[in-house]
Amino acid sequence: MKLKIKDLNFSTGGPFVAIMHKEDAKEIDLYAGDRILIKKNEKQIISVVDLSENHNIRKEEIGLFDEVLEYLNARKGYVDISLAKRLKSLEYIKKKLEGKRLNRKEIFEIIKDVNNNNLNEAELTYFISGCYGNGLSMHEIEDLTDAIVEAGHKLNLRRHPIVDKHCVGGLPNNRTTMIVVPIIASLGFTMPKTSSRAISSPAGTADTMEALAQVSFDVKEIEKIVEKTNGCIVWGGAVDLASADDKMIKVRNPLKLDPEGLLLASIMAKKKAVNASHVLIDIPVGKGAKIERKKDAKNLKRRFTELGKDLGIKIKVIITNGNQPVGNGVGPNLEAKDVLNVLMGRGPKDLREKAVKMATIILNMLEVKDAKKKVLDSLNSGKAYEKMKEIIKAQKGFIFEPQQLRIAKFKKEIYAHKSGRIIEVNNKDVSKIARVAGAPQDKTAGVYLCKKLKDKVKKNELLFTIYSDSNKKLSYALEIFKERNPYVISSLRIL
């Protein structure tokens, strides 16, 4: 069947979708949700079809969303359509939902269809639900990791060793990557860091780095940056490294489904895609963190270690204190200020100490003598700061000092309602307030913490400040604060 292209001028954000008139669909026995093969010149694509009978899509027309039009490289003209064969991957997804194990071929087929946008959101959700409800064996996780890497691009750095690190998440700020990368790079080792943007947090590493420099580069550009500086801090989503995983993350997040097997494959695929030989994994444990029980952290550590061995990557997993945010600023510009201050010899003590610890562990993995001394020398001498400036310049940035970073014009200072000792700083509540204030979309918004766990406070002493570029958003953030004050103060009397 030949149909005239109608440009819908809309994006689906992922899956390939086309809209046909009901009368045309009836001629070839098509139903909503079926898949059609669309051909234009030498290109063809499998798309999910939806049906219309209103004037927007006339008979002998086919409405195409941006993703389909871009793939076919056509905005007008005609396309040939036919009924597509049922995707094999749907059988394998059903198999996983039934609690059966998938073999390597089946997993590769699913990920191929994920990467090619052949699966719609509902079908992808079924796959994630199957992994969540029935779990993944270590063989399945290893195959899934390989499939995600195979479906995307890889960095081709002719260097060894290549170092990487990852935090499983859950803590506001915790921006150690932006300190560790320049330390390691300044000592002559290679550390290409592809990081994520925020999904449910006030800032991802990529959002914070973007306050200082560009983070969206193609593979060739990243390779040039690393060749020049030994390191980079870029957004992985712009590079098509492990892009199938990014598509699954978009579906996992709204449902709060984070199957352990998918978490493992997700992280390790990104490490394998940059050809990392040595990887440090940080698992923060504490109330409000992603992992709240030490028992779960130990199990995850064991599986990371086993998977690293299977993939030929040297892994070191550390379980760290995740009972409160690391650093003071929460939100892209506030976190970037913390990072630059630490690199300049100032800044939050806890952020500096954790970054020093992680950089030292990485050097120990590389069997470097006097590891901690070398890390401290890099920081204290300013070598790490100079390396960070070099990386910022290579990434087309021009922000090198904390005072260059603008903070939102509206603010509200929150004071202690009584004297005592801080016994809780709730990670989730801090994140929620910062996000409602506008972070990470508004890089100037967020929360600045003045007090941390175990600190003594007096009544009416400043606890934290909320920043927003919108008075309305600031009001909403204050409503959240009234419902969910992140600070809990003991009744200990302060003299």
> CA 301 → CA 141, 193, 295, 315, 452, distances in Å?
15, 21, 10, 10, 28
Phi, psi for residue 462 in degrees, rounded to 5: -65, 125
Helix axes 371-380, 177-186, angle to 10 degrees: 100
Terminal Cα distance for the chain, rounded = 85
By C-alpha distance, which of 427, 438, 424, 425 is closest to 477?
Answer: 438
Q: Active site includes 350?
A: no
In one-letter notation, the amino acid at residue 25 is A
Helix axes 177-186, 332-343, angle to 10 degrees: 30
Copy the structure tokens of residue 228: 């020049």
Contact (Cβ atoms closer than 8 angstroms) between residue 177 and residue 170: no
Helix axes 138-151, 294-311, angle to 10 degrees: 60
**Sheet with strand 456-457: strands edge to edge:** 456-457, 420-425, 487-489
| Residue from 7, 240, 258, 377 carrying the catalytic annotation | 258
**What residues are labeled active site?**
258
